[in-house]
Amino acid sequence: GDSVTQMEGPVTLSEEAFLTINCTYTATGYPSLFWYVQYPGEGLQLLLKATKADDKGSNKGFEATYRKETTSFHLEKGSVQVSDSAVYFCAYSGAGSYQLTFGKGTKLSVIP
Amino acid sequence: DSGVTQTPKHLITATGQRVTLRCSPRSGDLSVYWYQQSLDQGLQFLIQYYNGEERAKGNILERFSAQQFPDLHSELNLSSLELGDSALYFCASSVELGSLTYEQYFGPGTRLTVT
């Protein structure tokens, strides 16, 4: 069935390090892809999205490119900050449906 | 602030009881979604309503039900509660027009603890 697989955490990085969180999906058709972020004690916030192949979503220094050939949507940031510490979820919504299927989440801790 | 409100923020109840969680979507959003977040299952879609009608069902137990009212707020009813129902329950809302995909905006969640 349709699913999202993202790298297991937790991930601990020093401030200003480069971040990559891998995400791959299994879905039919052309899903829309999302990254959501959950800060401690809060709900989910949309970080970025891409709705078709080769689209690049970007926000707050984070980027992800919709790669249909590798069914991937990896999240990257060139220089992380302590304030980026949170749980990051990769998700998709399939063509013709709107509910989100989420990965298990990756907890990121950035240390000064 | 996403504009989606959920009440209550916390709920503690005993096994076998029934509770109702409430969600008010963002102004203008017609779709409401319910998700459950637990340590073992992660984030799972439960059910979606669009303008008062059930649109899609996910991994929702028969003991759970939901509805969306004419003012577009939604309620999730959980009955015969079990310890395993302890989780964070999120509501999300979105605008849907035709076949376009719009992002979902999440509320702060209701943390349910069943003792």
Residues of B with CB under 8 A from a CB of A: 2, 4, 31, 33, 35, 42-45, 48, 55-56, 58, 90, 92, 94, 96, 99, 101, 103-109
* CA B68 to mean position of chain CA atoms: 10
Query: B105: which 2 tokens?
Result: 């905006």
Q: Which residues lie below 8 Å from residue B88, measured CB to CB, with a gap of 6+? A: B36, B37, B38, B109, B110, B111, B112
- Would the CB atoms of A98 and B106 count as touching at under 8 Å? no
The 3 state secondary structure assigned to A66-99 is CECCCCECCEEECCCCHHHCEEEEEEEECCCCCC
Rounded mean pLDDT, A5-34: 92
Closest-CA residue of chain A to B5: A43
Give the C-alpha distances (Å, rounded to integers) separating A62 from A26, A44, A101, B100. Answer: 23, 16, 21, 24
Please check whether residue A44 touches B, CB under 8 A: yes
Question: For residue A102, what pLDDT is reported?
Answer: 93
Beta strands, E only, A2-85 = 3-6, 11-14, 19-21, 23-26, 32-38, 44-50, 56-59, 62-65, 75-77
- Interface contact B48-A98, CB threshold 8 A: yes
CA angle at B37 for the pair B50 and B49, rounded to the nearest 5°: 5
CA atoms within 13 A on the CB side of B53: 1
Across the interface, do B101 and A42 touch by the CB < 8 Å criterion?
A: no
pLDDT of residue B101: 59
Q: What's the pLDDT band for B100 if we cut at 50, 70, 90?
A: low
* Residue contact A98–B90, C-beta within 8 A: no
Least Cα separation, residue B107 to chain A (angstroms): 6
In whole angstroms, what is the distance from residue B30 CA to residue B25 CA?
8
B37 burial level (CB within 10 Å; 0-12, 13-18, 19+): buried
d(CA B92, CA B108): 9
CA distance A2 to A8: 19
User: Would you place residue A29 in the very low, low, confident or very high pLDDT band (cuts 50, 70, 90)?
Assistant: confident
The mean per-residue pLDDT over the stretch B81-107 comes to 85
Side-chain-side CA neighbours of A81 within 13 Å: the count stands at 5
Q: Which residue did the predictor score with more confidence, A41 or A109?
A: A109
* Residue whose structure tokens are 């395993």: B84
DSSP at B51: T
Nearest residue in chain A measured CA to CA from B108 = A43
Q: What is the pLDDT of residue B113?
A: 97
What are the tens digits of pLDDT across the range A46-94? Answer: 999 998 899 999 999 999 999 999 999 999 999 999 999 999 999 988 8
- Residue of B60, B53, B90, B56 lying closest to B78 (CA atoms): B60
Give percent of chain B above pLDDT 70: 95
- Whether the CB of A97 is below 8 Å from some CB of chain B: the reply is yes
Separation of first and last alpha carbons in chain A: 41
Distance, in angstroms, between A98 CA and closest chain B CA?
7
Q: pLDDT category, B91, cuts 50, 70, 90?
A: very high
Evaluate if residue B98 carries a pLDDT over 70: no
The shortest CB-CB distance from A32 to any of B42, B96, B101 is to B101
Inspect the interface and report whether the beta carbons of A98 and B31 lie closer than 8 Å.
yes
Q: What tens digit of pLDDT does each residue of B17-58 get?
A: 999 999 999 998 999 999 999 988 889 999 999 999 999 999
Query: Do residue A99 and residue B33 have CB atoms under 8 angstroms apart?
Result: yes
